[in-house]
Amino acid sequence: MDLTVAALPLRGMILLPGALRAVPIGRPTSLAAVEHHLNTQAELVAVAQLDADIDDPTQAGLAEVGVSCRISRATRLPDGGLQVLMEGIQRVTVRGPIRLQDDMTVVDVQPMAEASDDPVEVRATADEVTGLYEQLLTESGMGEQDRKLLVPDPSDPDRLADQLNGQLDMPWEERLALMAEVSPKARLLGVADHVARALARHRVHAEIGAKVQAAMDKSQREYQLREQLKAIRQELGDTAGLDAEADAFQERIDASGMPDEVRQEAEREVERLRRMHVDGAEYSMVRTWLEAICDLPWTEATLDTTSLGRAQNVLDEDHHGLESVKERILEYLAVRKLKPDSQGPILCFVGPPGVGKTSLGRSIARALGRNFGRIALGGVKDETEIRGHRRTYIGALPGRITRALIRAGTCNPVLVLDELDKVGSDVRGDPASALLEVLDPSQNSAFVDHYLDVPVDLTQVLFIGTANIIDSIPHPLLDRLEIIHIPGYTEEDKVAIARNFLLPRIAEDHGLTGKEVAVTTTAVQRVIQDYTREAGVRELNRQLSKLHRKVARKLVEGHDKRVRITDKGLPRYLGPPRYFSELAERVDQPGVVTGLAWTATGGDILFIEATRMQGKGGLKLTGSLGEVMKESAEAAMSWLRSHALQYGIPSESFDALFHLHVPAGAIPKDGPSAGVTMVTALASISTGRAVRANVAMTGEITLRGKVLPVGGIKEKVLAARRAGVEHVILPHHNKNDLVDVPEVLRQDLTFHYVETVPEVLKIALAPA
């Protein structure tokens, strides 16, 4: 007769009679079955699930045989599951599929049918299997005491078969098939087959191991013979060329001036090289290590040129503007002149792409008379890129710092760590953590590259970092850097850079001279206004290069002998204008406001549009806005509703649905500085008063209507001026930030400093 009992379906495992097993329980139905067993001591059956990938036990196929079990210990896990210790009791036959009953899994079972084997034959088979298994353990090298613990007692053949089933290494399906056998003799024979195969595999492995050992002995014998041959040749005086390479390395070590600690390690490796055969496995590894250690410039150094006048000339020759940056560099050089061994801060230039951060590092090297090196860190995620690979790995190399020193050829170069903000991390380590030691003057006197495994002094190296933003630089690394912000260029700066730097170099690169091509200043201005939109000058360089390519073709084809490019003729070379004045896109209607934003590529203007429509009330936000920007919009709406009567807005107006949208919806946007822009847009659409087209604004707001300061003022002012804005509304506390804005920009703009939202609306909204 079938008996319905609680069931525990096991995925990827089997519980055998007499065995103890720790099992994690996570499925709710299985947890209910276990708790029912613990509370009532009712029978519980563990049965293997044939398909371990099926999560729902009622849909999974089950083995034909299960094992009744008891739970001796249950531990609650942090995720709500259980870790139970189960003991198998006896096999039972599973009848029918598993199903749910009272929120737990149940199954129908009946006792296992009894076998009709001859007891004498079964006992003989058990003795044979026991002896075979003991032979396997003996040949595996197991001691007598351990064998006594592992070899089962043959007096209980049924238990013997189950124990060996659990101890032997066999596939899961075969283990399950053996457990389903009713006959103890059949199960013993199946186990005997696996023991015999395991014994055969072990003997094959032992034979192969013996052959490998013999081969190793042969290699050792060959080594001894080579040493004897070497001694014989030395006695005969025939040693020419044997130690030539080792002697060459010894000479380089003597001339390198490396520290005593490093010298001792290098000389040990040279002696190892002398004892190795050229075809040996480690010969090339030792030789490569010696090449690296000898190539390092331990004492080679350039003499610093600390003339501030020369440094000023070099910086002015290479870069236009950037006066505050040049001033900080000259201060650094002045300190170096007064105290040559000073450990100054690590400079880090932060600014949008194309403003000359990397080239500033090259200019500093030229001003100091030092060699220059660049280490690209963008996308680096492996710590070994900085510290190097261990020599135990095939193809190991020194890290980027060591390789940069070798390429520079001196121990005091200027090394630019480019794109510090693009360093990542993964399971292979965090390169930024490795840079902490490199950029700390108190620690980098004994920097250890994993490949060299000897200390290298980096105190004489002048490290300079570059980044577009500082938010993604880890704080401990940022703490070691002195941040120097490099803003975007004004239009006047770009014209000067194009006239003094870009055009002469581009003409030379294209094989042209001033007699063959001339680009007017008005043409350069139009290229900047209509064909580029950037904080730096990279796109300007591309467009001017495109102009010269067109001119070069015309000259080669013989159409012209001299080409003069004016602003009116630009479309023939560059095509129609790509950019237009943002303010020209403004429509003189309520709800459209010009905001100022900061981006990683410099400042930009940002239009915010508001409209009102029939609906159930509320505020809808679109344009890929971040959480901070959404909160600013909600604060703006709350302030406007609380001051509606002050601006003549009927309370029933807020029963409509308000919609705020920031164009370029595919570009994610976030930050608090759009608060004043949003409240102005909502006030404009609610009052029907348009916003002045020549006004742009930035600032954060509070529910009390206070206007709080924001960052990136210089970049935002540059964007406003580039867009043709005449009036800029700024938070009152940002007034001091205008010190960094060039005077020529401040003359073209009218600034309004506000402390409250009503002041913003008074300036921004046109009369009704």
Mean pLDDT of 245-256: 82
In degrees and rounded to multiples of 5, residue 310 shows phi and psi of -65, -40
pTM surpassing 0.85?
no
Long-range contacts of 567-572, Cβ-Cβ distance < 8 Å, separation of 24 or more: 567/520, 567/522, 567/523, 567/525, 567/526, 569/523, 570/523, 570/526, 570/527, 570/530, 570/531
CA distance to 41, 178, 636, 653, per residue, from 650 (Å): 72, 85, 17, 5
Q: Which of 30, 68, 363, 673 is catalytic?
A: 673
Ranking 277-281, 590-594, 661-665, 668-672 by mean pLDDT, the lowest is 277-281
676-699 pLDDT, tens digit each: 999 999 888 888 888 888 889 999
In a 13 Å sphere around the CA of 572, the CA atoms on its Cβ side amount to 12
Q: Are 390 and 281 in contact (CB under 8 A)?
A: no
Which CATH number describes the domain made up of 491-574?
1.10.8.60
Task: Calculate the CA 498 to chain-centre distance.
Answer: 37
% of the chain exceeding 90 in pLDDT: 2
| pLDDT for res 226 | 65
**CATH of the domain spanning 584-764, picked from 3.40.50.2300, 2.40.30.10, 1.10.287.1080, 3.30.230.10:** 3.30.230.10
Spell out the CATH class of 3-111: mainly beta
Question: How is residue 374 annotated by DSSP?
Answer: E
Q: Are 308 and 334 in contact (CB under 8 A)?
A: yes
Q: What residue spans in the chain does CATH classification 3.30.230.10 cover?
A: 584-764
296-330 pLDDT, tens digit each: 888 888 887 777 888 888 888 888 777 777 888 88
Q: Does residue 673 carry a catalytic annotation? A: yes
Q: Which of 326, 494, 714, 716 is catalytic?
A: 716
| pLDDT for res 147 | 62
Q: How confident is the model at residue 151 (pLDDT cuts 50, 70, 90)?
A: low
With a CB cutoff of 8 Å and minimum separation 6, the contacts of 4 are 101, 106, 107, 108
Q: What residue spans in the chain does CATH classification 2.30.130.40 cover?
A: 3-111
CB atoms within 10 A of CB 629: 23
Mean pLDDT of 375-394: 81
Q: Does residue 554 carry a catalytic annotation? A: no
User: Minimal CA–CA distance to 69: which of 42, 30, 108, 35?
Assistant: 42
CB-based burial label for 650 (10 Å; 0-12, 13-18, 19+)? exposed
Q: What residue spans in the chain does CATH classification 1.10.8.60 cover?
A: 491-574
564-617 pLDDT, tens digit each: 888 888 888 888 888 766 555 555 678 888 888 877 666 778 888 899 888 777
Q: What residue spans in the chain does CATH classification 3.40.50.300 cover?
A: 308-485
With a CB cutoff of 8 Å and minimum separation 6, the contacts of 87 are 18, 19, 20, 69, 70, 71, 72
| pLDDT for res 242 | 47
More confident residue, 278 or 605: 605
Q: How confident is the model at residue 54 (pLDDT cuts 50, 70, 90)?
A: confident
Name the architecture of domain 308-485.
3-Layer(aba) Sandwich (3.40)
User: Minimal CA–CA distance to 653: which of 602, 604, 688?
Assistant: 688
Joined tokens for residue 203? 């003997």
User: Minimal CA–CA distance to 574: which of 546, 538, 534?
Assistant: 546
Q: How far apart are CA 372 and CA 358, in angstroms?
A: 11
Helix (H, G, I), strand (E, B) or coil at 610: strand
Strand-pairing partners, residue 731, are: 754
**What angle do the packed helices 308-318 and 323-338 form, to 10 degrees?**
150
Identity of the amino acid at 132:
L
Q: How confident is the model at residue 731 (pLDDT cuts 50, 70, 90)?
A: very high
In degrees and rounded to multiples of 5, residue 19 shows phi and psi of -100, 145
Ranking 403-417, 452-466, 485-499 by mean pLDDT, the lowest is 485-499
Average pLDDT over the chain, rounded to an integer: 81
Mean pLDDT of 451-466: 85
Mean pLDDT of 74-101: 86
